[in-house]
Chain A
Amino acid sequence: MNATAPAAVRAGASADAILGVLPKEVFSPSTVEEAAAVLEEKARASASVGFVGGGTALGLGRPPRRLDAVLRTEHLTRIVEHAPSDQIIVVEAGITLADLQRAVGAHGQRLALDPPLPERRTIGGLLATNGFGPLRTRYGSLRDLIIGVSLVRADGVSAKGGGKVVKNVAGFDLPKMMVGSLGTLGLVATVTFRLHPLPESDVTLVARARTARGVRELASAMRGAQLEPAAVAALLQGRLFDVAIRFEGFPAGVAEQRDRLRQLVGQPPGSDCDVLSETEARAVWERHDALRTAGPLRAKLAFLPAALEALVEGPFAKLMGALGEASFVLYPTLGLGFVAGLPQGAVLVAQAVESVRGSLAGTGGSLVLEEAPDDVRAHADPWGPPPPSFALMRELKNRLDPEGRLNPGRFVGGI
């Protein structure tokens, strides 16, 4: 073979466990080639492997059926290429989002992705879990930003899809295939993104809504008025929603959109809509991040935006009632939200989760437990019922990882 140095390896310790399953060995390769060699070796040994980036989403999914080895991407942190004038970047999977943003920020650019915990979350982990933040309102999710990927398959073979240019339709879309695949199809080795210019200015406003309906009507009014917020997030505060709205762009456009939003809200205009100072704005988005990462139980909800009231007034109330210190972050334009809190009885919570799922099922909505205590897990599957296309998903998994050695059992429907 080649002269790749063996990856650093140590015995698994309790801190390496994934959902309570302890790996025998933990590898920390320092290059993609070393990582490929590890996977090749594990293929020969028919060993199962899980991948760990920043370790912030290890609560997602079911416990792996087997976990012989963990491969950590902590040393795969290089920026392979950044071409500022082409607005693209190629990075290794283990780089943190914050490190990436600092590097491109120096050139007046950013990756338009702002999930909580950027200092800890890695690009590979974000890709595996389809992580996102409020900027998804305007820029879409990872699938809309990724333009290329290289991966190492279960058999140790390296392969790539996409490319380094934004516009490219050559070959099947392996980059999108990897988004949200939770390490079950291969190790994400490098990722190529399109970048956006950093906005020259921004402003955050907070409007108050008394009900979920009020939140939806505000979102709808902004759409009607052709406002183009970069981020909209409603934070449930007591019985009220604080709706944080950020405009970004050139100063003239930002100011004009700010003023038009105030015209739209409240009577007299702007009475219930504050323009925040920089410090206040930072605080409200930090509060958003804190709520997104709070609680021993955290659930992600997906629903049709117009179904918001039906959801909130229906079984969702039961779920909120079953949680202590319950919090709710809502992205009204996207139809996505996160509920978090302290379960007041595992069976009660599990029943509420199933009720919410039942109410969402007809419209293709979903509830995924991103974090949950073991007693809740004992009564509720973290993923819920698999989608109608599940047979195809299983077939895809079987083709890419025929022996089922990558993160076995952790993903949807036991994939």
Chain B
Amino acid sequence: MSVANAPAVTISRDVVARMSALVGAKNCISNPSDLRTYECDGLTSFRVMPGLVVLPASTAEVVAVVKLAWENGLALVARGAGTGLSGGALPVPGCVVVALTRMKRILEVDLENGFLRVQPGVANLDVSKHLGPAGTYYAPDPSSQSVCTIGGNVSENSGGAHCLKYGFTSNHVLGARVVLADGTVVDLGGPALDAPGYDLTGIFVGSEGMLGIVTEVVLRMLRKPQATRTFFATFPSTDEAGNAVSSIIASGVVPAAIEMMDGLAMRAAVAATGVDWPDVGASLLMDVDGPLAEVEHTSRHSVELAREAGALEIRIPKDENERALMWKGRKSAFAAVGRISPNYIVQDGVIPRSTIAEVLHEVTELSKKAGLRVANVFHAGDGNLHPLVLYDARVPGQEKAAEELGGAILRLCLRLGGSITGEHGVGAEKVAYMGEMFTEADLETMQRVRCAFDPERRLNPGKVFPTPRLCGDLPGPYVPHPSELSGEATRG
């Protein structure tokens, strides 16, 4: 479902000149060959040429850019590092891409109150690096964390390996400064909890750039746990590995992370990173963290359960270097698949954890039927599958077959009560599946939320919702409360 050949739409020279004056000539890209850098994000099979790319350096510059776009009826697409895998930052023809990568300052660190305030272009890992000396960190850790930005994480509600215990971006964002489609600046939430009113921060995080452009984020920082214990276990097949996951979770242990890879994914990681993993059917990589005595117990107990479930070998890293290498093997698994296949599609389905073994058998069947290999990497603790469908785009029909196989896997997830996306977002890629997960009424309700923030639908159009629609007119004016009329209360 590629939209590679959408026609280029140009923005008038006058608007380009004014944008250029707002952000500086070198931060305003209109040359077609330079624009090409921004025609896709991590989902490279979808490409659309933007009309213009601007790189503002402050909230004030974002406001100026947004207002100018608003006056000229231009669509806006915000973008961070462009690592997203669902096409969330895919331009629409003739849009203005607002790249926030120059806004990468950490504005405030408040150790006593446990929060920090950052600009959206700060890389995820840089936050934890910055906090490291104080013994604190920022918990969400998407695999792309060394480059992906906090702004992108906020838009997509990014997850990572450690979500099972610590939650997602939305559990760690306390507030945000947001520029709405008409240029209005609004502060949502903040470091103090439970501000009266609706949880607009909760609504904003994960809204895929459709509700506003974030220019500051208030993040919660956590104290580093006293201890972390990691082990790596190999299994004859994903059946035994899946059973190990189930029995560890059932025992009351809440792993910080529990990751599964099948044999094909392991072989790719070996080829790419040089980890010395054996050629077996499946493996688990698990972290527990917390107070020392607690993790000594939970790690020992989990290792026993893995053995009982049929583990072939258990490896416990000798030191932090070995542990880092194990995680490097896991985190590079997507890219590693490039070593064993010219092309691949990453899927992001979620299933109830208890169905892992059943699902993997069905995926194997589907893969055989399609004649394509599937490598499986996933966050097993929360049932988030990342099947990597391998194909060769040079072989006629294979790309289409791979897309169909990916789709069949998503439908399988839905049939079992799961989701079409656990952490990558709907973006442009999974728009077509939204109607299979949600009813027309569900989507229309979400659309109302969008209309409250962006009635003209100027921000990141074409994402999330399968059918474009207008924001209906509102019947009747707001009726003020008598206490407002008397001046006792205000509407702000």
Interface residues of A (CB under 8 A from B): 62, 65, 83, 85-88, 108, 130, 140-141, 143-144, 151, 153, 157-161, 163-174, 176-177, 179-181, 185, 196-200, 220, 223-224, 226-228, 249-250, 252-257, 260, 300, 302-306, 334-336, 360, 363-366, 368, 381, 383-400, 402-404, 408-409, 411-414
Contacts and interface: CB of A to CB of B under 8 A. Distances in A.
B202 A256 contact: no
Given A171-B426, A413-B489, A389 B188 contact: yes
Interface in B167-209: 167-168, 170-171, 175, 180, 186-188, 190-200, 202-203, 205-207
Given A305-B112, A364-B190, A412 B196 contact: yes
Interface stretch (B275-283, B313-321, B369-377, B378-386): B378-386
A381 B426 contact: no
Contacts of B191: 304, 363-364
Nearest to A333: B114
Nearest to B197: A412
A89 B146 CA distance: 36
B418 interface: yes
B171 A364 contact: no
B481 A167 contact: no
Given A62-B483, A165-B417, A168-B422, A387 B254 contact: no
21 contacts: A62-B483, A144-B167, A159-B439, A167-B168, A168-B418, A171-B443, A172-B449, A220-B112, A226-B224, A228-B290, A249-B290, A250-B297, A302-B193, A385-B490, A388-B186, A389-B197, A393-B200, A398-B452, A398-B474, A409-B481, A413-B490
Which among A88, A153, A167, A386 has the highest number of chain B CB atoms within 10 Å?
Answer: A167
Interface in B218-239: 223-226
A305 B481 contact: no
B464 interface: yes
A165 B418 contact: yes
B378 to A, nearest CB: 10
Interface in B403-459: 417-426, 430, 434, 437-439, 441-446, 448-453
Given A130-B194, A396-B198, A223 B223 contact: yes
A173 B350 CA distance: 17
A171 B464 contact: yes
A383 B418 CA distance: 39
B190 to A, nearest CB: 4
B203 A303 contact: no
A409 B485 CA distance: 13
A177 B203 contact: yes
Interface string B350-371: 1111100000000000000000
A173 B252 contact: no
B442 A171 contact: yes
A388 to B, nearest CB: 5
Contacts of A108: 252
Contact of A392 (B113, B167, B200, B442): B200
B354 A83 contact: yes
Given A86-B354, A172-B207, A396 B452 contact: yes
Contact of B198 (A65, A180, A254, A336): A180
B449 A396 contact: yes
A153 to B, nearest CB: 7
Contacts of B195: 302, 364, 366, 387
B294 A256 contact: yes
Contact of A173 (B164, B170, B419): B170
* 7 A-B pairs with the lowest CB-CB distances in the bound complex, closest first: A253-B294, A176-B202, A414-B481, A256-B293, A390-B492, A364-B190, A197-B252
Contacts of A83: 352, 354
B352 to A, nearest CB: 4
Nearest to B292: A256
A87 B444 CA distance: 30
Contacts of B480: 414
Contacts of A249: 290-291, 294
A303 B193 CA distance: 7
B475 interface: yes
Nearest to B136: A223
Contacts of A176: 170, 199, 202-203
Interface string B249-263: 110111000000000
Nearest to A151: B445
B71 interface: no
B192 A363 contact: yes
